[in-house]
């Protein structure tokens, strides 16, 4: 388990038996904190169920099917024109998989997840993405507001998708670098995350609808960004040929 944590980029969460007296447990927990891996103490019976065996030495790990990318590393390799899809505690693995597949199709450069309170990468997410997960860098961060601040420091404009946003997605002059933040399926963006955004944008809905599925809403906004970029590239190309 220590070696998995030292590798650090595949571990979603540690589960530790409340009754465990395993040697070097303090070292293991310190390493988890250092790597930003969440851990949870559970009853022995629950750990047996999670591990699928009683031979687990009091600890088990939920493992991602792909490697997470550290935010700083992703930012260092990010192109000058880029879109980040940021997910604020999206709960359902199927939604997460669909969101990732949509981001791949729309040409986004990366997906940022919140380690606390939302779904993380697992086999269900991989299946829902229909393999698109293998084509998208995914960042798993412990503090989403801090991640948004780092994105802003790297010249990303941060837009929260919110039903009460002041501007609709079809009127935004999307900058070269932007981050689109999608909230929880039930509650939307958390207040602290909403305050960290540079602007809140909405999708105008007819027939008194008040919301869309998270993946559908993200798809509309992401492809609007992609279309705006395409039009800009065409204009720039036309100017260069004059």
Question: 12: closest CA among 32, 38, 30, 35?
Answer: 38
And the tokens for 136? 């998208």
Exposed (0-12), middle (13-18) or buried (19+): which is 13, by Cβ within 10 Å?
middle
Q: Are residues 101 and 184 in the same domain?
A: yes
Phi, psi torsion values for 81, nearest 5 degrees? -110, 115
46 lies in a domain?
yes
Residue 120: CATH number of its domain: 3.40.1280.10
Q: Is the pLDDT of residue 48 over 70?
A: yes
Give the pLDDT confidence of 76-110 residue by residue, as tens digits.
Answer: 999 999 999 999 999 999 999 999 999 999 999 99
Q: What percent of the chain has pLDDT over 70?
A: 90
Query: 182 or 236: whose pLDDT is higher?
Result: 182
Rg (the chain; Cα; Å): 20
End residue of a domain, out of 36, 63, 90: 63
Are both 86 and 191 inside the same structural domain? yes
What is the rounded distance in angstroms from the CA atom of residue 120 to the CA atom of residue 136?
14
Of residues 2 and 234, the one with the higher pLDDT is: 234
Of 16, 39, 63, which marks where a domain is finished? 63
Q: Grade residue 55 by pLDDT with cuts at 50, 70 and 90.
A: low
Q: Could you tell me if 82 and 197 lie in one domain?
A: yes
Look at residues 150, 147, 155 and name the one whose alpha carbon lies nearest to residue 177. Answer: 155
Query: Is 241 among the domain residues?
Result: no
Domain that holds residue 26: 2-63
pLDDT computed for residue 121 by the predictor: 93
Q: Is 90 found in the same domain as 45?
A: no
Q: Rounded distance, CA 99 to CA 92, Å?
A: 11
Beta-strand pair 11-17/59-63: antiparallel
Selection from 5, 155, 147 nearest residue 80 by Cα: 155
Q: What is the pLDDT of residues 132-181, one digit of tens each?
A: 999 999 999 989 999 999 999 999 999 999 988 999 999 999 999 999 99
Query: 49 pLDDT exceeds 90?
Result: no
Which spans in the chain are helix H?
Answer: 2-7, 25-35, 44-51, 71-77, 93-105, 123-128, 144-153, 191-196, 214-240
- pLDDT level of residue 47 (50, 70, 90 thresholds): confident
Q: If you ran DSSP here, which 8-state letter would residue 173 be given?
A: -
> Which CATH number is 56's domain given?
3.30.1330.30
What 8-state DSSP symbol labels residue 34? Answer: H
| DSSP secondary structure of 71-140 | HHHHHHH--SSEEEEEESS---HHHHHHHHHHHHHTT-SEEEEESSSS----HHHHHHTTTGGGGS-EEE
């Amino acid at each position: 388990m220590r070696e998995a944590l030292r590798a650090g980029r595949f571990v979603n969460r540690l589960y530790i038996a409340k009754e465990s007296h395993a040697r070097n447990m303090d070292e293991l927990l310190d390493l988890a904190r250092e790597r930003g891996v969440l851990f949870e103490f559970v009853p022995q019976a629950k750990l047996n169920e999670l591990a699928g065996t009683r031979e687990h030495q009091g600890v088990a790990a939920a493992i991602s099917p792909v490697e997470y990318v550290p935010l700083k590393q992703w930012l260092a390799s990010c192109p000058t024109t880029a879109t980040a899809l940021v997910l604020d505690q999206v709960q359902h693995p199927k939604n997460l998989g669909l969101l990732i597949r949509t981001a791949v199709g729309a040409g986004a450069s990366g997906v940022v997840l919140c380690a606390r309170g939302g779904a993380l990468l697992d086999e269900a997410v991989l299946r829902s993405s229909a393999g698109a997960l293998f084509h998208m860098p995914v960042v798993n961060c412990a503090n989403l507001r801090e991640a948004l601040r780092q994105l802003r420091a790297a010249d990303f404009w941060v837009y929260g998708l919110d039903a009460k946003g002041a501007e609709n997605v079809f009127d935004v002059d999307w900058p070269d670098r932007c981050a689109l933040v999608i909230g929880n399926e039930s509650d939307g963006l958390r207040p602290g995350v909403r305050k960290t955004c540079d602007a809140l944008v909405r999708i105008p809905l007819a027939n008194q609808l008040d919301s869309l599925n998270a993946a559908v809403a993200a798809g509309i906004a992401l492809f609007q960004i992609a279309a705006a970029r395409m039009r800009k590239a065409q204009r720039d190309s036309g100017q260069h040929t004059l």
